[in-house]
Structure 1
């Protein structure tokens, strides 16, 4: 029996939807369904009522739910305990952060954490969805990610401790080439939509852009566009924007000095969205070294998050 089957079952029981649960677990829906079926075969009984929308557990599934939670918690606690025991003087802290923040914020984070903690660090990077899933699965002690009051990074994170490390601004950028900027005709018209460099639909930043677009529509404006390039990675989109392929939204923190020489914000503040760069920590107590590091972050945190 694979512990991932239990984690899949718990996600399905909470979200009550195969598609959403598969996205949360970062697997295809087909693979997710096979893993649920494998767990049912291992137990010898169905756990989910077939065809029920939203998903509903069978009587056996309800009985098994608490046992699955306890088993996963104990396994994760045992793994954490074993990993902790591998270090004597040095205590490794597992940090998860998206690629875009790893490049712009990791050194800043290290400068906030007091060196007297004598800790080593293991850094998990990937897309926002990837690192959030890894953190929630227990693979990281502290998560750093963009977060916004209007569009939370993940619903489950509201149960975790949250600190605002600093503010950021999600706004549209275009090449500094004046001729191309003017030709884009931002913010576009139905007859002449502007070319857009966008994130794929599952990306967190794509959800932020959708909020900007909905806010514009509510205010009587619009953002007519046609997608020229689509990608999950902000660094890739940044290069495409600099090359003049279109306009794309980026967090201001992602625009370093090199990029700043090639791209610049376009449009007014109505197209921008304030976001936070946050740290998250599980609500249950952790090791003394991790708690000490969290205390250091708390001392430097921005007050009044949301």
Structure 2
């Protein structure tokens, strides 16, 4: 059993709405419903009366409600106490970040900002975009570094979670470079010879971005998906071995482009710009975090 299941349950009991609760927990409604169902399966009892509207708790749910409030409250207090002890012994900050940014952007950013960051030590939590956001919201990270696009924004309250715009990233199609310097495959392909396509899993942030590129594309792509993973680095490895075309962030392929191993498999019309942002919880009081944020806010525009 995961404590966040109890937190989900408490939000649902307060709102009486799966849709609103999912929004507050930064989840899709199906994902939120699955977590409530997982809690019910672990307990061996139905907590929600699904035959009525609005949503009501069953007797078992009512019984759990007070216990859950007490347990979550005690855990939260204990975590706050322990984090306070940890914060007092040094300047280690926890950064939640998507996997792709952890490989390329973060090392360069930490090097470029060494003066502003001072003597801060870092603990890195590499997740998918969703879990990185959850790490900040649930208090398991001091900073969140993530991508942003207007069509698929990270939904955080601006009042509680101020953000800064650190830079930009471009997602575009790449293929292995041939001896003559041309890409092994070129978009859009044809119905007679569909391009082997290396794609992202349905829960990956870059899957949404790729779908947006294809939706706005100047021509209909003829693609034959032959591989799927959530990791951009995994797709890059497949492209380098000549397995197909993949949409990859430019920062992840800079070395391979310079070495002549990869080529763009399409022009600018097949690319999508994104922002790279950093967020904090304004209610999180840590001297090292406050000092760092003041330095960053003087260098980067607010969002």
| Cα shift readout 1:71-115 (whole Å, capped 9, x = no counterpart) | 747743541332231344512211111221111122233232546
Pairwise CA distance, 1:169: 0.5
Name the structure 1 match of 2:7: 7
The number of aligned residues is 295
Preserved CA contact (<8 Å) 1:95 1:140: yes
Matched, 1:254 2:252: yes
Q: TM-score, normalised by structure 2?
A: 0.79
Preserved CA contact (<8 Å) 1:125 1:131: yes
Higher mean displacement: 291-300 or 11-20: 11-20
| Cα shift readout 1:279-306 (whole Å, capped 9, x = no counterpart) | 11124242121111122222222x375x
Q: TM-score, normalised by structure 1?
A: 0.79
**Which residues in structure 2 correspond to 1:182-197 (within 5 Å)?**
184-197=185-198
Q: 1:124 to 1:40 in 2, by over 3 A?
A: same
Pairwise CA distance, 1:129: 3.0
Partner Cα separation in structure 2 for residue 178 and residue 244 of structure 1: 13
Preserved CA contact (<8 Å) 1:90 1:118: no
| Cα shift readout 1:208-264 (whole Å, capped 9, x = no counterpart) | 111112222xx6x32221112111111111111111111111111111314542112
Name the structure 1 match of 2:210: 209
Name the structure 2 match of 1:81: 81
Name the structure 1 match of 2:39: 35
Pairwise CA distance, 1:162: 1.7
Name the structure 2 match of 1:103: 103
Preserved CA contact (<8 Å) 2:18 2:29: no
Name the structure 1 match of 2:90: 90
| Cα shift readout 1:182-211 (whole Å, capped 9, x = no counterpart) | 663521233332211111111000011111
Partner Cα separation in structure 2 for residue 156 and residue 195 of structure 1: 37
| Cα shift readout 1:29-51 (whole Å, capped 9, x = no counterpart) | 7665131455695xxxx642315
Higher mean displacement: 167-176 or 112-121: 112-121
| Cα shift readout 1:105-158 (whole Å, capped 9, x = no counterpart) | 222332325467533221111332332333332211101111111212x43466
Q: 1:146 to 1:63 in 2, by over 3 A?
A: farther
Preserved CA contact (<8 Å) 1:97 1:124: yes
Preserved CA contact (<8 Å) 1:84 1:91: no
- For structure 1, the residue ranges without an aligned partner over 5 or more in a row are none
Matched, 1:270 2:269: yes
Preserved CA contact (<8 Å) 2:49 2:57: yes
- For structure 2, the residue ranges without an aligned partner over 5 or more in a row are none
Partner Cα separation in structure 1 for residue 108 and residue 62 of structure 2: 46
Partner Cα separation in structure 1 for residue 114 and residue 71 of structure 2: 34
